[in-house]
Amino acid sequence: MSPRSNNHEHEHRIAVYPGSFDPVTFGHLDIIRRAAKQFDQLIVAVLNNTSKSPLFSVDERKKLLADVTRDLPNVEIDSFRDLLVRYMRSRQAQVIVRGIRSVTDFEYELQMASTNRQLDEGIETVFMMTNPKYSYLSSSIVKEIAKFNGPVQDLVPPAVEAELQRKYTPPKENSN
Ligand code: PNS
């Protein structure tokens, strides 16, 4: 055993990346890829929020996330409807991962991280700066463009683009 060996060295580091992911964008995917390298396991957790009216159902969002992360073996897709810190405890996760795009994000994120810290001091929030390439990008912007049939191929993976098209294409009228 090396002199540096201790329990921490064998600790399985589980992080949770929570969010709405309605739908997942290249900005999210960039954070997922980078966070997956920093932890033994990364759980991407979709909030099942009954008070919001999302474009994609939780199952659809989970399916898209699973599809675009299938090459990442230590990434798991899940959903939760509880307080985040409670969900974290149920998954034995110690770290919350959030991406920050701007100073505006920072204020909201600081409030959320401080709340979570107040609820459970044992849980740490780690922020990753979004790739500047995606600093303007959000799920809402993507939906806005897709709604007007604009190009979203630089903003979301192809599977998401296809699903957006399906959502916003009016059903063909039966010509018979
Ligand atoms: O992608 P979003 O919508 O910015 O994600 C927000 C999310 C899901 C991380 C946040 O709303 C959340 O954690 N909700 C669960 C309820 C909770 O624990 N709230 C207390 C922290 S403010």
More confident residue, 8 or 71: 71
**Strand extents, DSSP E, the chain:** 14-19, 41-47, 75-80, 95-100, 124-129
81: left (phi over 0), alpha (psi -120 to 50) or beta: alpha
| pLDDT at position 11 | 86
Q: Does the residue 26 lie in any domain?
A: yes
* pLDDT tens digit sequence for 55-70: 999 999 999 999 999 9
Active-site residue, from 8, 10, 37, 52: 52
Report the CATH number that the domain containing residue 37 is assigned in CATH.
Answer: 3.40.50.620
Q: Largest Cα–Cα distance in the chain?
A: 79
* pLDDT tens digit sequence for 77-111: 999 999 999 999 999 999 999 999 999 999 999 99
Is 52 among the residues known to form the active site?
A: yes
DSSP 113-141: HHHHHHH-TT-EEEEEEPPGGGTT--HHH
Which residues have CB under 6 Å of ligand 1? 18-20, 47, 83-84, 112, 115-116
Q: Does the residue 63 lie in any domain?
A: yes
8 — pLDDT class (breaks 50, 70, 90) = low
Overall domain count for the chain: 1
Q: Does the residue 33 lie in any domain?
A: yes
What's the whole-model pTM score?
A: 0.92
Q: What is the domain extent for residue 132?
A: 13-168
* pLDDT tens digit sequence for 30-51: 999 999 999 999 999 999 987 7
Q: Does the residue 58 lie in any domain?
A: yes
